Amino acid sequence: MTRLKLAIQKSGRLAEESLALLERSGLKFAKSKDKLFWFGETLPIDLLLVRDDDIPRLLLAGVCQLGVVGGNVAEEKAAEKARQNETETTLEPLLPLGFGRCRLMLAAPEKGAIRSVNDLDGKRIATSYPELTLRYLKARGVQADVVLLNGAVEIAPSMGSADAIVDLVSTGTTLRANHLEVIDEVLASEAGLYRCPNPLEAEAEALIQTLLTRIEGVKQAAEAKYVMMHAPRAKLADITALLPGAETPTVLELEGDPHRVALHAVCTEQVFWEHLERLKEAGASAILVLPVEKMLA
């Protein structure tokens, strides 16, 4: 019987949401005491809990077939492989997951001499992402020295060990505290489901497909709403047009009222108060918006 291994971050910014997404997709695990390997009970997919930085290597080595990791970490590894001319072994993203959003930014001292990437020729850039930084510089024809730091990157300019930095930024508070300002975006990142590059046997590929379909369903259901209301029969077309991302609605008789109907629809886009107010203006009443737990198109 084929079993797949899926790696997620053990603890950190991606850990909770990665596990929650898998659980919402119907995966249940027997948690082991050492908390490194969890046996998959509902699908033959086992969990490996590791440091996020290890996930690309585990996928490339074929130790795991699937992994949830930030685009920043996956692309850093892919850029390294591409530079070593191993393009055929890059990591393959299957699906963006919509959490763990962050941006890798070029930043330099506030009101300093570096105003754009073109001012970086011959300068030193501190970063934990040397490959993405080199790729970014190369694409712009800039020659600079990349200084690898594995932490406290943002203090490098004030310590005099770099002229600029490339670092992950979410709010910008850390940058401001160190008197740095953003010059340019190097990479926009979110967590993704990644797979090993080599093709697997048919049963394993089918299992990956099952997981993908379920995760896509969970992602869709997160936004989707089931909307019910009463509406004037004469206004059906207007009202349907006001529903965000709705397919053809279901229309039901209202006992004893020939002019009004009950209308049910699944809205696949977010439903806001503004939508409900416009529906009411168009003559709808008794409007209910219900969450959708699962969806299989």
Which of the listed partners (ligand ATP, Zn ion, none) does 102 bind, with a CB threshold of 5 to 8 Å by partner kind? ligand ATP
Give the residue, chosen from 17, 53, 205, 216, that forms a contact with Zn ion under the rule CB under 5 A.
53
Tell me which stretch binds Zn ion (CB under 5 A): 45-53, 99-107, 263-271, 286-294.
Answer: 45-53
Q: For tokens 């300019």, name the residue.
A: 157
Nearer to Zn ion, 56 or 217 (CB): 56
Q: Which residue has the tokens 């694409």?
A: 139
User: Quick one: what does residue 70 bind among ligand ATP, Zn ion, none, with the CB cut-off 5 to 8 Å set by partner type?
Assistant: ligand ATP
- Binding residues vs ligand ATP (CB under 6 A): 9, 12-14, 51-53, 70, 72-73, 100, 102, 168, 170, 189
Q: Which is nearer to ligand ATP, 103 or 123 (CB)?
A: 103
233 binds, among ligand ATP, Zn ion, none (CB under 5 to 8 A by kind): none
Residue closer to ligand ATP (CB basis): 151 or 256:
151
Interface stretch with Zn ion, choices 48-56, 83-91, 98-106, 278-286 (CB under 5 A): 48-56
Q: For the CB of residue 12, give the shortest distance to Zn ion in the complex, in Å.
A: 7
Q: Given the complex with Zn ion, which of 9 and 65 has the nearer CB atom?
A: 9
Kindly report the length of the chain: 297
What residue type is assigned to position 224 of the chain?
A
Q: What residue 217 binds from Zn ion, ligand ATP, none (CB within 5 to 8 A, per partner kind)? A: none
* Cβ proximity of 234 and 114 under 8 Å: no
Least spacing, CB of residue 202 vs ligand ATP, in Å? 32
Is residue 75 within the footprint of Zn ion (CB under 5 A)?
Answer: no
In order of 198, 226, 235, 278, 286, the CA distances from 281 in angstroms are 56, 20, 11, 5, 13
Is 46 or 76 the residue whose CB approaches Zn ion more closely? 76
Q: Is the CB of 151 or the CB of 291 nearer to ligand ATP?
A: 151
* Residue selected from 14, 27, 29, 52 as contacting Zn ion according to rule CB under 5 A: 52
* Interacting residues of 33 by C-beta distance below 8 A, sequence separation 6+: none
Per CB under 5 A, does 167 bind Zn ion?
no
Q: Given the complex with ligand ATP, which of 104 and 229 has the nearer CB atom?
A: 104
Q: Nearest approach, Cβ of 230 to ligand ATP (angstroms)?
A: 44
Residues that bind Zn ion (CB under 5 A): 52-53
